[in-house]
Amino acid sequence: MKILFVLENFYPNIGGVETLFKSLTEQLVREGHEVLVITTRLNDDMPAEENLNGVQIRRYPFFNRYTFTLFAVFPIMRHIRNFDLVHTTSYNAGLPAYIAAKLFRKKVLITFHEVWGRLWFDLPYMGAVAKRAHYLFEQMLTKLRYDKFIAVSHSTADSMRENGIAEQRIATIYNGLNYERIENFNKNIPANNDKRPFTYTYYGRLGISKGLDILLDAAVILKEKYPDTRLKIVIPTTPKALLKKIISYIEKHQLEDYIELKHHLSSEALVAELKSSDCVVVPSYSEGFCYVAVESIALGIPVISSDKKALTEVVSGNFIKMDKLSAVSLSECIEKAMRNEWETTPIKKFELSNTVEQYIELYSTVNNVI
């Protein structure tokens, strides 16, 4: 098979989704398939063209995710003619990939990381007009006739059905984790048990659904009640407008000495920060899969979870669930963590090799359908 991937972000970006698609594309090449990735060129240091372990990559200088949506169709059309099928992801890459695939009568699959539906209107850090526009864009994507909608959890598949996607168009494939890499981190980066304040940590994407508003409100409560505790937040510096709001909140509530804010850590430095924490907090309004929770669990770090959407499926090991999606509930969970009152279940694993195998099987099935 010849497969064209249309991905807003790809290697050398570091993240769970990027790791998944890097592993998937490289495995496809090893099995004799031809692969081309069309993605964003974020800066001049990134090569415009690259062959990475047999995977052909073409990077284009889109200004932001919205210009990717508007203009990626042109480089896609330049390359699509020689490929059997197209694989893309929600949100911004989905539309140009679909348009080009239909114009050239190619099969097209989309991996949906989340489907929010009416949740858009309950999220913070976004104005009413923007919420409406994003909701309508998501609804449009769910109405397009992709050959397969791939859900990254059963929760995401349920959300697809609720938003009108037909059952026969849905395939569920969990995201996967490279546990060999995690074991290397566990072997080479020991836990930091030095005397320190009780520390709870948030890390991951800077997104409006991640519950950062709840986390910051909880930090105000905990600083007042337990001034010796500390919060670490490890996030990227984009989107800049959202980062500015978070920094403004920290300054307004005089949390500069309570919250340690970090950006763009290497994988090794991030793991070291996590291993010097008492727990990881995931206070999300919604999660389609949640690499943060699965990675933390694999590293042996307890998790405090909102228990929303896919978090009910993937959280295991030592954890505490929030009763309500509120700062008070989160602060109460952290108090339980301070008393070591964890729930414990057998650890669930989501092997990357299984994920890749299921994708390859799905490609074969879709490509053979007349």
pLDDT at 64: 84
Cβ(316)–Cβ(307) under 8 Å? no
In the chain, what is the straight-line distance between the N-terminal and C-terminal CA atoms, in Å?
Answer: 15
The structure tokens 């992801």 sit at 89
Cβ–Cβ < 8 Å for 224, 194: no
Task: List residues bridging with 4 in a β-sheet.
Answer: 36, 86
User: Which sequence spans correspond to the domains of the chain?
Assistant: 2-176+351-368, 179-345
Give yes or no for residue 370 having a pLDDT over 50: no
Q: What is the mean pLDDT of the chain?
A: 94
Which pTM does this prediction carry? Answer: 0.93
The CB density around residue 97, as the number of other CB atoms within 10 Å, is 28
User: How do residues 173-196 score in pLDDT, each as one tens digit?
Assistant: 999 998 998 999 999 998 877 778
If DSSP codes are grouped into helix, strand and coil, which group holds residue 131?
Answer: helix
Question: What is the per-residue pLDDT across 119-152, written as a single tens digit (0 to 9) for each?
Answer: 999 999 999 999 999 999 999 999 999 999 999 9
For residues 201 and 123, give the distance between their C-alpha atoms in angstroms, rounded to a whole number: 22
Helices in 42-127 by DSSP H: which ranges? 65-71, 73-79, 94-103
330's CB contacts (< 8 A; 6+ apart) are: 214, 215, 218, 281, 283, 304, 322
**Six-digit token string for 161:** 């059905």
11 with 41: CB under 8 angstroms? no
pLDDT digits (tens, 9 = 90+) for 338-364: 999 999 999 999 999 999 999 999 999
Superfamily for the 2-176+351-368 domain: Glycogen Phosphorylase B; (3.40.50.2000)
Same fold, 2-176+351-368 and 179-345: yes
Question: Which residues 6+ apart lie within 8 Å of 259 measured at CB?
Answer: 219, 230, 231, 232, 233, 250
Element spanning 183, H or E: helix 179-188
DSSP secondary structure, 125-188, as one string = SS-HHHHHHHHHHHHHHHHS--SEEEESSHHHHHHHHHTT--GGGEEE----B-HHHHHHHHHH
Q: Which amino acid is at 321?
A: K
CATH class belonging to 179-345:
alpha beta
